Amino acid sequence: MGKDWLTMTAADLGRGIAAGEIGPVALTETYLDAIEAHAFTPRIYARTTPDRARAEAAAAEARAKVGRRLSPLDGVPISWKDLFDTAGVATESGSALLKGRTPERDALVLRNATAMGTVCLGKTHQTELAFSGLGMNPVTATPPNVNDHDAVPGGSSSGAATSVAFGLAACGIGSDTGGSVRVPSVWNDLVGLKTTSGRLSLEGVVPLCPRFDTVGPLCRSVEDAALMLAALEGRPPADLGAATLKGTRMMVLETSAQEDLDPTVSTAFEAAVAKLTEAGVRIERREIPEVAEAMALSPLLFAPEAYGVWGKAIEANPDAMHDQVRERFRGGRDVTASDYIAAWLTVDRCRAAYLEQTAGFDAVLIPTCPILPPNLKRLETEKDYFVNANLMTLRNTRIGNLMGLAVLALPTGVKSTGISLMGRPFGEERLLRLGRAAEAALA
């Protein structure tokens, strides 16, 4: 039975604990044993926290025995991206610039999740300072893609995704600034939730671009995403019981998100849209010019903010970074304050126009990522290939960040391809209910 636990959803594990069929201690030991034995563990986990995990599992087991569980995920083991502060355990955000950085207190979302009974297995690898969508990190480690071990897993929450995909965590917690939850989720056939900026606390989270940074789960099901969102906030979960697609309207966004798609991605996306139509969704295809207008301003927004946060540390020790990531940061060095502010004013206008034009739709649909996972060796040796692959990887996901949306990424059923449901800001509960029904239709 223990091996089966490694592939079960977090929700099912929680139900097993509630029914007395699964003990949190045995469950945690099963995960710790799997982590210890797996050949890819050094490429997935930056460091593990077995003593903490065992203590938390023992407490969860004691609560379960007397019927005092704290949440549906009480006793379920999860992983944390290496930018969430963990008391007494190094938190380095995948960067040699932060080597040895050891916080004294957990990040607030980790404190919340712990208070809801989740078990912390450890910290997962990521791209340097979370500034790449590929998941490649020559400085620390690059996890393998679950579908092609010679390809990258997607980033920056690379280890968060692969810890789940390879059965080394029931759920992974990551961050998303331009696609860093959604890309590794779909490239590893998982569900990823990008929350609205401001929904979840960033206290104790190593920043990249604070105006875009968000926290979100990478998991095996939409139900898991809903339960984990609640745990991260320290509240009861949303009810997904009324999930249905009948009578809903969704827009396929006809914009740059549909250009230059890999044929496999395009075919998988259109097949997914057809399944949603069969399930009762009324599909309309429309363009929103303001999306392209905002997308064109990306170089004036992301890199300048990231360089504003990290520029001094980078220039004090530039050789500590992978050159491609370092140059991405430096791309924001010479952007003027006036251009940055003007770009934000335009984005705010574009956001308002987007919300007005999508008001009558339950969700907006796009392919999550336009390309399939690139080959790691080519990325390491071909500069142009790296630059182009990274830009394409984040092109579609960035729409959700620029428009300030809640976004749910679902696997299509074709390996390493996904469909994203873009919802309203702070509309995560409605989006998760739709996602639960869409997940069933796509299955």
Residue with tokens 């649909």: 365
CB atoms within 10 A of CB 272: 23
156 is a catalytic site residue = yes
| Cβ-contact 216, 176 below 8 angstroms | yes
Residue with tokens 């938390």: 56
Q: How far apart are CA 352 and CA 371, in angstroms?
A: 29
Residue with tokens 């997935």: 44
| Cβ-contact 40, 144 below 8 angstroms | yes
| Cβ-contact 373, 152 below 8 angstroms | yes
| Cβ-contact 385, 414 below 8 angstroms | no
Q: How far apart are CA 356 and CA 382, in angstroms?
A: 43
Structure tokens at 5: 């636990």
- CA within 13 Å, CB half, 47: 18
Q: Hey, CA dihedral for 123, 129, 133, 137, is it positive or negative?
A: negative
Structure tokens at 276: 């949603």
DSSP 145: P
Three-state DSSP state, 229: helix
| Cβ-contact 437, 245 below 8 angstroms | yes
**Any idea how long the chain is?**
443
φ, ψ at 251 (rounded to 5°): -105, 130
| Cβ-contact 306, 329 below 8 angstroms | yes
Catalytic entry in 71, 79, 81, 185: 81
| Cβ-contact 305, 402 below 8 angstroms | no
What amino acid is encoded at 266 in this protein? Answer: S
What amino acid is encoded at 232 in this protein? Answer: L
What residues pair up with 174 in beta bridges, in sequence order?
216
| Residue spans of alpha helices (H) in 317-426 | 323-330, 337-357, 376-381, 383-395, 397-402
Give, in order, the Cα–Cα distances in Å from 218 to each of 70, 158, 223, 244, 409: 22, 10, 11, 23, 10
Catalytic entry in 71, 180, 185, 221: 180
Catalytic entry in 95, 156, 185, 197: 156
**Mind telling me the catalytic residues?**
81, 156, 180
